[in-house]
Amino acid sequence: MAFRIGKSVMLNFGNDLEPIFIFAGLAFLLLIGPLLRWYVAGMTQVDFKLPQYYFLELVPFALLFLSSFFVTKNWFDSNNKEAIIVFASVLIFIYLHFAFHIFVAYRQLKKVKKGYPKELQTKSQKAIIVWLRVLIIGFVFIWVSYFLNIIEDTVPYIAGPIMYSMVVYFLSFKAFKLKVTDIDGNVFRKNDDIQLFKQISKLILDDKLYLEPNVSLSSIGKLINRSTQKTSEVINQYSKQNFNDFINQYRINEAKKMLLDSKNYTISAIAFDSGFNSLSSFNTAFKKFEGITPSSFKKSNSI
C-alpha cells in the first residue's frame, strides 16, 4: 500500500520519476487480485491450505516487476509508438486482471452464502460474510480509483491514490470493528445442528407429519434418534418459532390449498384434514399467520 501510494504521489508531484518505480508500482497491482481471492478462500473454506499451483498466479507480477529493471528513462520518455503500445497494454492487462479476481472472489462468497442461508448462519459466520462483502465492495472502489488514473484529463491523477487510501483505511476500521481477526474458515465447518434441522424439516414435509393431530416433539425426536430437549432447541434456534407454531405453519399452508381447491368442503372439515384437533385452534392459528379468518380467506379468493 505504502509503495503504491508513494509511487502515485511522486508521479503526480515529481517530474523525473524513474520508470522503474512506475512499472514496479504497477506490478504490485497484480498481487492484489490473487491475494484477495486467496483471502476469501481462507476465510470461508475449512482447513484451507494454499495449493502450490496457486503460486502460478504470481507469475504476471514477477514478470512485470523484473521487467521494470530493464525499462530505461530515454525509452519511456520517448513517446514513440512502441512505448505507448507497451504501456497501454500493461495497463489494460492490469485492470482486467484485477477485475477478474474481484469477480472470482465475489463468486466464492456467493457460493458460501448459498450453502449457508442467512437464517441458519451462526454469529461468526455472519461476521465473516459481512466482512468479506464489505471487503469486495471496497476493492471495487479501489479498482475504480485506478481506472480514474487513465482519464487524467477529466479526473486529477492524485484522486486515485486518495480514494485508494480512504478505502483501505475504511476497510481497516471495519475489520477492527467486526473483530474478524480471530476467526477463519473453520467457522464454516459442517454444523450438525443445521443438518439436523434440515432433516427434521424434510421429515415433516415429506411424510406430512403435520397432518397428524397428535404429532409432538417427543415423537419427532424418536424418529431422528434425538432427545425431546435437543429437538426443541434445534427447531427454536433455526425456525425462530416454537414447536407448535413450526408445525402449524405447515398445517396452515395445507389448509390454504384446500380452501382454494376444495370450495365445497366445510371449514370444519378442512381444519381436521389439515391436522388440527379442533375448529377453534384452527381459526386461532390461521388468523395468527394470515391475519384473517379461514372463512374470510376463502371468501376473498372465491370467484
Domain residue spans of the chain: 2-188, 192-300
Q: Report pTM.
A: 0.60
CA distances from 139 to 100, 180, 203, 208, 250 (A): 12, 18, 44, 48, 44
DSSP 8-state code for residue 274 = T
Per-residue pLDDT tens digits for 86-130: 888 888 898 899 999 999 999 999 888 877 767 667 777 888 888
User: Are the beta carbons of 161 and 5 closer than 8 angstroms?
Assistant: yes
Q: What's the rounded Cα separation, in Å, for the pair 129 and 191?
A: 16
- CA dihedral sign of residues 67, 69, 75, 79: positive
Sequence-distant (6+) residues with CB within 8 A of 229 are: none
Phi, psi of 125 (to 5 degrees): -65, -40
3-state class (DSSP) for residue 219: helix
Per-residue pLDDT tens digits for 41-70: 888 887 778 888 888 999 999 999 998 888
For 192-300, which CATH class?
A: mainly alpha
CA distances from 26 to 5, 33, 116 (A): 11, 13, 37
